[in-house]
Amino acid sequence: MLTTMAEENNTSVGEALSWASRLIAIGILMFLPAVAGNWADARLGTSWLGLAGLVAGFVLGLVGLVRITAGRGRR
């Protein structure tokens, strides 16, 4: 079946938007634990929760990226 240029363009735009939303989600996943840790530090008077949130966000972001790329290879 032949596809028109508009259908191919819509598919490309959809694919790009899909990847953009995935990357934004990973960015938020990496950012929010650090913010929560800093908030908890200020609230509880500690100094290590911000760093723990930063490390947790980094690990969660890497896990998310691995899952996205592993799922892409199966399609």
30 within 8 A of 57, measured Cβ to Cβ: yes
Q: How far apart are CA 30 and CA 20, in angstroms?
A: 15
CB-CB contact of 54 with 48 (8 Å):
no
Rounded to a whole number of angstroms, the CA Rg of the chain reads 19
Could you tell me the residue ranges of all domains in the chain? Answer: 22-74
Q: pTM score > 0.75 for this model? A: no
Write out pLDDT tens, residues 32-54: 999 999 999 999 999 999 999 99
- In the predicted model, is pLDDT for residue 24 greater than 80? yes
Question: Residue 62 and residue 26: Cα distance in Å, rounded?
Answer: 8
Query: Do 67 and 26 contact (CB within 8 A), yes or no?
Result: no
